[in-house]
């Protein structure tokens, strides 16, 4: 009875990784195209955003995140549904978009219930930022795809929600504008960005 060679057994994981990378980039291209086609006020977030800053894929991704403000979320839902995605509400802040042949897309919305601020929360964490944070978007490139991601301040504000240690360390080292300061409250389990000098903003 013959046995598979080591070369064959090593090839399968490599092919699987290549497929996952291709699927991730295909999803990124599709979502970027939707954002640009409908001129949506949304940015690529999460792992793809971090790899965009790095300029290269550092791992295979299991999903793709985008973020927006709650006042814009229904326009985003409408655009994704028009492009063949099915939407499923996961929580008060997160909606999942699915389409055959692509990674799932998580749409994270920042609530704007308090004037001048936006909030994102989980059952145990709260993040509150001034709306000025959303004006500092940045363009990055990954495998020839150009797309917009949140400001470093916004990326850094969600540190309590990041579960990957490597991603957390990377985001924590991102430079931020000197006009912003970060404050973590153990009592409220919150992470807040504050303007260092609100009167001059």
Contact between residue 17 and residue 60 where contact means Cβ atoms under 8 Å apart? yes
Q: Is residue 33 part of a domain?
A: yes
Q: Is residue 111 part of a domain?
A: yes
So what's the pLDDT on residue 176? Answer: 87
pLDDT single digits (tens) 143-163: 999 999 999 999 998 888 898
Q: Is residue 1 part of a domain?
A: no
Q: Is residue 61 part of a domain?
A: yes
So what's the pLDDT on residue 175? Answer: 92
Residue-number span of the structural domain to which 133 is assigned:
6-200
Contact between residue 192 and residue 129 where contact means Cβ atoms under 8 Å apart? yes
| Strands 104-110 vs 63-69: parallel, antiparallel or unpaired | parallel
- Confidence category of residue 184, pLDDT binned at 50, 70, 90: low
Whole-structure pTM over 0.85, yes or no? no
* Counted domains in the chain: 1
Q: Is residue 50 part of a domain?
A: yes
Q: Is residue 22 part of a domain?
A: yes
Q: Is residue 13 part of a domain?
A: yes
Rounded-to-integer distance, Cα 20 and Cα 29, Å: 14
Instruction: Residue 20: give its domain's CATH number.
Output: 3.30.460.40
Across 86-90, 150-154, 159-163, 183-187, which has the greatest mean pLDDT?
86-90
């Amino acid at each position: 009875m013959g046995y598979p060679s080591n070369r064959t057994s090593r090839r399968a994981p490599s092919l699987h990784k290549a497929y996952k990378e291709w699927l991730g980039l295909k999803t990124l291209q599709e979502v970027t195209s939707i954002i640009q086609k409908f001129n949506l006020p949304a940015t690529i977030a999460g792992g793809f955003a971090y790899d965009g800053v790095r300029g290269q894929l550092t791992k295979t991704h299991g999903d793709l995140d985008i973020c927006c403000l709650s006042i814009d979320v229904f326009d985003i839902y409408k655009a994704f549904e028009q492009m063949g995605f099915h939407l499923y509400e996961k929580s008060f802040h997160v909606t999942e978009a699915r389409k055959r042949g692509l990674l799932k897309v998580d749409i994270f919305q920042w609530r704007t219930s308090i004037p001048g601020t936006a909030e994102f929360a989980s059952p145990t964490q709260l993040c509150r930022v001034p709306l000025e944070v959303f004006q500092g978007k940045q363009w990055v490139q990954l495998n020839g795809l150009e797309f917009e991601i949140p400001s470093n301040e916004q990326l850094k504000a969600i540190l309590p929600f990041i579960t990957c240690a490597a991603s957390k360390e990377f985001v924590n080292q991102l430079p931020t504008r000197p006009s912003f300061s970060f404050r973590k409250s153990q009592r409220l389990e919150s992470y807040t960005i504050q303007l260092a000098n609100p009167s001059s903003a």
